Amino acid sequence: MDCTTARRRIEEKVDGLLPQETEGELAVHVAACPGCAGHEAALSAVGPALKALVETRAAEKAPQLDAMWTRVSAGIVERRKAERRHAWLPKWFWLPAALALAVLALLFYPTGTERSPFNPRSFDVAVEDVESDDATVALVDKGEDLPRVIWIIEDAKS
């Protein structure tokens, strides 16, 4: 095994990614090569040093982290309470709206009429020309029971 391959495998070993089949071959090379042995010793020392540094920094920041976690957990609890408080609104909002619509429909539904609904296609329409170039008058008349409607339609100006 050459030193380039050995150094790559040393890094894999330190990271815990080296397959067990190649550990024996790497150990033989490291025992024979002082450069690779020094590289392995240096990389192996980095892990514990970083762990000690992280533990020291975590101990220094523990009060701030505890206070932050307290605020975060309180916010989570408050949000859950608010969601439970308003959870019924989307589920049941349609019910009063439908009820109000039904009441309005019943209030404005015509009752007591014996005539059948009228169809606009059955109207007799008479169009009369007014002495104006700006408008057309349409008179709709459908018998004595129904109202007389007059539409004034303004012509588009060129």
| One domain, residues 77 and 150 | no
Does one domain contain both 124 and 80?
A: no
What pLDDT score was predicted for residue 97? 78
Residue 82 lies in a domain: yes
Helix, coil or strand: residue 125: strand
- Domain assignment present for residue 80? The answer is yes
Q: Which domain holds residue 133?
A: 118-158
pLDDT above 90 coverage of the chain, percent: 16
Q: Is residue 122 part of a domain?
A: yes
DSSP string spanning 107-137? HHS--S--SPPP-GGG-EEEEE--S-SSEEE
CB contact set of 124 (below 8 Å; sequence gap of 6+)? 140, 141, 142
Asked if residue 12 is part of any domain, the answer here is yes
| 111 in a structural domain | no
Are 126 and 79 within one domain?
A: no
Same domain, residue pair 35 and 78:
yes
pTM to 2 decimal places: 0.36
Cα–Cα distance for residue pair 138/124, rounded to 1 Å: 10
Do residues 146 and 123 make contact, with C-beta atoms less than 8 angstroms apart? no
Question: Is residue 25 assigned to a domain?
Answer: yes
pLDDT at residue 101, as a whole number: 83
Mean pLDDT of the chain: 76
